[in-house]
Amino acid sequence: MSAPYLLSVTVVSIAVLLFLIMALRLQAFIALLLVSMGVAIAAGVPLPEVASVIQEGMGGTLGYIAIVIGLGTMIGEILQVSGGARQIAHTLTRKAGSERAPWALMTLGLIVAIPVFFEVALILFIPLVYSLAKRTGKSLLFYGLPLVAGIAVAHSFIPPTPGPVAVASLLGADLGWVILVGLIAGIPAAILGGIVFGRYVGNRIHTVMPETAQAKEDAESDRPLPGFALVISIILVPLVMILLNTATKTWLPEGHGIAQLMAFIGHPFTALLVACLLSFYFLGTRQGFSREEIQRVATRSMEPVGMIILLTGAGGVFGKVLITAGVGDALVNAMTASNLPVVLFAFLVATVIRVSQGSATVAMVTSAGLVAPLVEAGSHSDGVVACITIAIACGATVLSHVNDSGFWLVKQFMGLTERQTLASWTVLETILGVVGLVVVMLLSTVL
C-alpha cells in the first residue's frame, strides 16, 4: 500500500485511540487492542495473521517489562513498609535544615521515586512539606514543588519506573544508557523546575495545608528504622550494576570474559533480583519481619501494577502492528523528507498524545510504538537511542492539565485552585520536559 495511505491510517488510528479513551472513557488497554486490530486490518494484514501479530507484540514486550516492573515494585513496597523511605526523608531534611530543605526534598523525590510510584511517593512525603511550611510560614509550593519535581523526574526519566522501561524495551534501548541520560537530563530539569521555579512561584502564590489533609507521620512501629546508608545502597545497587554493564560493553570487546560476566550481572533482571533479595533480607528479615510477612508484602506490591503491565503490553502490540503493516517504512521516508531530527520528532509525538489524553504512560507507549520503526531503520548509537527514549519521556511530561490524575493530586494535597495548579504544577511539568529535551538534543549530537 502507498505511504500516504499508511500515514493516513496512522493519524486516524491515533485520533480514534484518543476518542475512545477521552470521549467514550474506554479503558486504555482495550482501546489500544481495538485500534491495533483496526490498523492491522486497514493496512492489509491478512485476517488469519492479525491475532498472531497481536500475540507477538504482547509477548515480546511483556517478556521483558513484566519482570522489571514486578521486581522494581517489590523493592518499592518493602522500602515503604520497613520505614526505609521515612528514614531517607528524616535524614535528608534534618541535615539540610529549613533553608536548604527544598534541595533535600528534591533529592528525596529523585531517590525514592525510582522504585516507588508517583502517587505513593507524594502521599508518603507530603507531611514533610506541611511540617516545613507550618514551621517557616512559607507557602506549601516553596517546599512542595521541589519534592514533586524530583518525584516527576524519577517517575518519567529513570528506570526501573514503568514509563522509561517500557519505552526502552520498545525502542531496544540499553537500560544503562537510559539511566545515564535520564540522570543527566533530569537533574538540571529538577533544579530549574523544582528549586528555581519553586522559589519563584512559592513567593507569589501562598498556600497553606488544606483542611482536608492530615499532616501526620507514618504509623510508628516497634521495629527500628533501617539505616540511611543501607537504604540508599539498596536503591543504588541495581542502577550501579546496570551502569557497570553499559560501561563494560563500551570499553571492552564483546567476547571478553569480563564483558560476558557483566552482561549477566548487569542485566536488569539480575540487578533487580539481587536488589530485591537484599531488600527482603536487610529491610525485611533484619528489621524483624517474618517470612510470611515478607511474602505478603511482596504479593501485595503486585496488585496495583497489573494494569500498568497490560497497558505496556498493549503499547507493544500497537508498535508491532505498525511495523508489520509497513507504517514504519512510511514514517522513515516521511522523516527523511522532513529533515526533522528523530529526537525532536519523538518529543513532539509524545507531547501531542500527552496533551490530548493526559496519561503519561499511554503517551509513552503509544509514542514509542510510532518511533520504534525510525529507530530500527536508523544506525543510531546506544547513546542516541537512549536520548530518543528520554525525549519521549520529556514529551509525555509537559503540559499536565485537567485530564491528568497528577494535576488533581497536586491540587488536592497543596490546597490549590485550578488556576493556581495550572500556574504552578503545569508550568513545572513543562519546564521539566523542555529542559530535559534541550539536554538530550545536545547530548544526541555528541553521542
Q: What is the mean pLDDT of the chain?
A: 83
| pLDDT for res 328 | 63
pLDDT tens figures, 147-205: 999 999 988 898 877 788 889 988 989 888 999 999 999 999 999 999 999 999 988 88
Query: For residues 252 and 41, which has the higher predicted lDDT (pLDDT)?
Result: 41
| pLDDT for res 427 | 95
pLDDT tens figures, 153-166: 988 898 877 788 88
User: How many Cβ atoms are within 10 Å of 431's Cβ, its own excluded?
Assistant: 20
pLDDT tens figures, 361-407: 778 888 888 888 888 877 888 899 999 999 999 999 998 887 677 78
How many structural domains are present in the chain? 1
- 10 Å CB burial of residue 232 (0-12, 13-18, 19+) is middle
Q: State the average pLDDT over residues 13-32.
A: 82
CA pair distance 114, 162, nearest whole angstrom: 10
Q: How many CA atoms lie less than 13 Å away from 55 in the CB half-sphere?
A: 5
Please list the helix, strand and coil fractions of the chain in percent, rounded to the nearest 5, in that order: 80, 0, 20
- Which cell is 380 given? 543510531
Three-state secondary structure call for residue 164: helix
Query: For residues 111 and 394, which has the higher predicted lDDT (pLDDT)?
Result: 394
Residue type, 61: T
Q: Are 60 and 101 in contact (CB under 8 A)?
A: no
Between the alpha carbon of residue 266 and those of residues 75, 182, 240, 243, 252, the distances in Å are 17, 18, 8, 7, 14
Of 395, 308, 304, 303, residue with least CA distance to 28: 308
Highest mean pLDDT among 65-74, 174-183, 355-364: 174-183
| pLDDT for res 218 | 43
Q: Which range marks the domain in which residue 25 is found?
A: 3-444
pLDDT tens figures, 360-370: 877 888 888 88
| pLDDT for res 444 | 92
User: How many Cβ atoms are within 10 Å of 16's Cβ, its own excluded?
Assistant: 15
Q: State the average pLDDT over residues 333-347.
A: 80
Is residue 357 predicted with pLDDT exceeding 80? no
- Which cell is 286 given? 533484619
